[in-house]
Structures are given as C-alpha cells and as structure tokens.
C-alpha cells in the first residue's frame, strides 16, 4: 500500500506543484526533530525525473521563494526496487545549473529511515548529472548551503534535470 501511495505521489507531483493551492510555506520541523532549515538560494527551482545507469530512479519538484522559503518533494527508488522513499525538501542552493537539495525523509518502505536527513545534488547541463540521496541521522546531515564532499555526480542514463 505504501509503495502504491509513493508511486501515486510521484505521478501527481508535477500537476500538484503547479496547482493554485500548492503549499506556500515550508513545512517546519519540531525542535525535537532538529533545526528548522529555511535557507538557500532565493527564487530557485528544481524539477527532475531521472534514472542513473545503476537503475536508481529519482523524481524532484521543489522551489524556493524570493524569501528563501523552500517547498517540494523528492521521491526515490533504489536500484533493486527494495527501498522507496519520499523526502520533504526544505533547502535548495543553486549556482548556474548546479543545485544542492536537502530535506527530511517523511515516508519510506524502510521505516527505519523515516525522519532522517536527506541530501543530494543535480546538475542541469550537457549531459545532465545527478547522484543518489544520502542519509544521516536527524539534525546530523549536510544542508543545501554546505558542500557535499562524500559523493560524486554521475551522468544520468535517462530523463532530464531542470534547474532555474
């Protein structure tokens, strides 16, 4: 049931994100769950639907208002299909076509990772680049405004990345 819900979320992400009733404020985290992160590059947006050569799949719809309040969702499927997760994006940093995103896992087929910090990056270019979502304990993960030194971007096998 959870997998079906996440697949439906991924399919509806683009139409919902453009709806007049789309969220207008970032979801906040309670003080017990870590620091509220409402920073990044003002007026930035990321839309991606990609598959890496490993079979890992990622879909992202996220935007950052002119006041640097971020809303959005990322949905990922592991290469083997055994883990599906949804991330509430709370930070976007961009420079040119390169974007770093961070957030919190809000739902997963592996319930042990729910609530963990998630961070990843994408690059809109020729070719488009992306990487898998990295996880860390709540409040311990990198934010989008910090560098992510522990992984490299890879050329996507199919799909597209749009960073504005």
111-139 residue pLDDT tens: 999 999 999 999 999 999 999 999 999 99
Task: Give the model's pLDDT for residue 24.
Answer: 35
Distance of CA 19 to the CA centre of its chain: 19
Structural domain tally of the chain?
1
Instruction: Look at residues 62, 34, 37 and name the one whose alpha carbon lies nearest to residue 121.
Output: 62
Whether 29 is in a domain gets the answer no
Whole-structure pTM value: 0.73
Task: Give the pLDDT confidence score for residue 17 in this predicted structure.
Answer: 37
pLDDT interval class at 26 (50, 70, 90): very low
> CB-based burial of residue 62 (10 Å sphere; 0-12 exposed, 13-18 middle, 19+ buried)?
buried
In a domain, 48, yes or no: yes
HSE-CB of 90 using CA atoms within 13 angstroms: 22
Q: Is residue 107 part of a domain?
A: yes
Residue 25 belongs to a domain: no
Q: What is the pLDDT of residues 52-61, one digit of tens each?
A: 988 999 999 9
Residue 32 lies in a domain: no
The phi, psi pair for 17, rounded to 5°, reads -65, -25
* Domain with 117 in it: 2-14+38-163
């Amino acid at each position: 049931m959870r997998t079906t819900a996440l697949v439906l979320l991924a399919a509806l992400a683009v139409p919902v994100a453009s709806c007049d009733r789309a969220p207008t404020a970032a979801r906040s985290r309670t003080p017990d769950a870590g620091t509220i992160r409402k920073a990044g590059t003002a007026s930035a947006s990321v839309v991606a639907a990609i598959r890496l050569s490993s079979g890992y799949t990622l879909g992202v719809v996220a935007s950052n208002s002119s006041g640097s309040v971020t809303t959005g969702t990322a949905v990922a499927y592991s290469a083997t299909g055994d883990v599906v997760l949804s991330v509430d994006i709370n930070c976007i940093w961009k420079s040119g076509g390169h974007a770093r995103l961070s957030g919190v896992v809000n739902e997963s087929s592996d319930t042990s990772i729910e609530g963990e910090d998630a961070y990843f990056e994408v690059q809109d270019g020729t070719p488009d680049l992306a990487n898998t979502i990295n996880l860390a304990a709540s409040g311990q993960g990198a934010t989008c405004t910090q560098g992510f030194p522990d992984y490299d971007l890879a050329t996507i096998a199919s799909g597209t990345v749009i960073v504005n």
